Amino acid sequence: MAGLLAAGCSKVGKSDTGSAILDKAEDWHRRAHRALAGKQALAREYPRSAISPTFRGNGSQTVDTDDYRAQLANGFGDWRLQVRGLVETPLSLSMENIRKLPQRTQVTRHDCVEGWSAIGEWTGPQLSLLLDAAGVKEEANFIIFRCADTYNGGDYYESIDMVDAYHPQTIVAHLLNGEPLPEKNGAPLRMRVERQLGYKHPKYLTAIEAVASLDGIGGGKGGYWEDRSGYQWYAGV
């Protein structure tokens, strides 16, 4: 994680989330979670030639608030991603912070339960990097994702376990096919959780929360669709 700062993440270093904190990610958190990540199979990755000509938008296609429209107009210069909950050091990251972290790029197929698929190239830092930087506590069992949008009046949210959280292909994406995320696909940030179905990839990401249990969060079933429709919480593809 010292390398993370050396890579140019100066805003993180200067803010209240000092560099000493990021260095701590070298400790047991990282070793424990790397052990999880090492055991996992990767989702299939495709050549760039397989990328779909258009990647449709589904569910929310925008965030219907004045704040979001203002953010969109100014290139998300004021957008913040919070990393909080059961962590040693909460983080508040700007888009610049996120762009300066080490990046992973992957071409994968998105499968929606509604019966369509699309292949796209996604780029962003691995979630594990942010969790290590914040220092996830031992008692955390799940990661919750908070979103800026509501869908049919309900707050969109999702959750995954620590195995998926530390999976190498679980990234906080800010580019689709090499361009900043389009509005319809979740600008400025969305999760990619490549071994799971489409609804497990929350868009318009505002916060990442480490928690011990899903009880008391939303309807308690771990996600917007899980609470409403009986979609499975574990939606492996």
Ligand X SMILES: Nc1nc2c(c(=O)[nH]1)N[C@H]1C(S)=C(S)[C@@H](COP(=O)(O)O)O[C@H]1N2
Binding residues vs ligand X (CB under 6 A): 55-60, 112, 147, 149, 151, 156, 184-186, 198-199, 201-204
Q: Which of 145, 199, 224, 233 binds Mo ion (CB under 5 A)?
A: 199
The one of ligand X, Mo ion, none whose footprint includes residue 166, by CB under 5 to 8 A per kind, is: none
Q: Which of 72, 112, 163, 175 binds Mo ion (CB under 5 A)?
A: 112
Q: Are 169 and 42 in contact (CB under 8 A)?
A: yes
The one of ligand X, Mo ion, none whose footprint includes residue 156, by CB under 5 to 8 A per kind, is: ligand X
- Does 198 engage in binding with Mo ion (CB under 5 A)? yes
Q: Measured between alpha carbons, how far is 222 from 184 in angstroms, rounded to an integer?
A: 23
Buried residues in 178-209 as b, exposed as e (16+ CB within 10 A):
eeebebebbbbbbbbbbbbbbbbbbbbbbbbb
Nearest one of 98, 111, 109 to 175, comparing CA atoms: 98
Q: Which residue, 8 or 182, is less far from ligand X as judged by CB?
A: 182
- HSE, CB side, 13 Å, CA atoms: give it for residue 94: 15
The one of ligand X, Mo ion, none whose footprint includes residue 60, by CB under 5 to 8 A per kind, is: ligand X
Q: Measured between alpha carbons, how far is 26 from 119 in angstroms, rounded to an integer?
A: 35
Nearest one of 23, 167, 21, 145 to 84, comparing CA atoms: 145
52 CB-near residues (< 8 Å, 6+ apart):
118, 119, 120
Candidate segments 6-14, 63-71, 155-163, 197-205, binder of Mo ion by CB under 5 A: 197-205
Candidate segments 66-74, 80-88, 107-115, 226-234, binder of Mo ion by CB under 5 A: 107-115
CB of 24 to ligand X, least distance (A): 31
CB of 89 to ligand X, least distance (A): 26
Q: Which residue, 19 or 62, is less far from ligand X as judged by CB?
A: 62
The residue ranges that bind Mo ion (CB under 5 A) are 112, 198-199
